[in-house]
Amino acid sequence: MINQFSGVSVREENSIEIINQYLGIRPLLVLDPTLLIDKDYYLEIIKNFKMNMDINKNYLCSYILDKSELKTNYIKKVSNRLKLHIINIKVGVKDFIEKFLFSINRCKSVITDSFHGTVFAIIFKKPFITFINIKRGNMRFLSLNKTLLLDNRFIYPKKEINLNIDMLTEVPKINITNFNILKERSILFLKKNLGMIK
């Protein structure tokens, strides 16, 4: 039934060959849709939102989907070293979207194992480290890393993790040329296949 679609796109580079091999269609590599919208759109969503956070404190945002003792200990160590208060984002709570966006925007640094936790750290220009979450598919992370050249921001959970504080005090510099090319291609793909342009 995939042949009935006017266009097929993927956000992971390795998916192109898999779909081509098994389904006979060569999809287009595009950005995740969240990256096609300017930051101001997300800021508008939270402009009147309030959370119980002390304006005099600095925060470390922790958004962990698959919790482990190793990740928890790492976050605590970073929090102590940088003197940041931890704010944990929990999935499924009331006003989750607003809390998610507000917390990342308000914090100084982000530690996550979530693809979209990573994406919004990039959108809001926050220093971050991402635990590559193999259970949920590591190719999303690796493809994003290859596109934007975010070296050293992605780490595999191991027994011992080096406490790289610099990564959590410096905003990563993305490859803006690659990003803009892929963003333009992604938007063009949507417009064409939604019948907005010929």
The mean pLDDT of 74-78, rounded to a whole number, is 92
- Could you give the count of Cα atoms lying within 13 Å of 42 in the half-sphere of its Cβ? 23
* Segments making up each domain of the chain, as ranges: 1-30, 39-177
CATH number listed for the domain at residues 39-177? 3.40.50
> Which residues are paired to 42 by β-bridges?
none
The mean pLDDT of 97-122, rounded to a whole number, is 96
Whole-angstrom distance, CA of residue 18 vs CA of residue 27: 10
pTM over cut 0.85: yes
What are 109's two structure tokens?
Answer: 């640094």
- Predicted confidence at residue 165, as pLDDT, reads 82
Residue 3 has pLDDT above 90, yes or no: no
Q: Which of 78, 49, 86 is nearest to 168 (CA)?
A: 78
| pLDDT tens digits, one per residue of 4-24 | 998 999 999 999 999 999 999
Residue 159 has pLDDT above 70, yes or no: no
Query: What is the full DSSP assignment across 96-137?
Result: HHHHHHHHHHH-SEEEES-HHHHHHHHHTT--EEEE--GGG-
Of residues 117 and 136, more confidently modeled: 117
| pLDDT tens digits, one per residue of 123-145 | 999 999 999 877 777 888 888 98
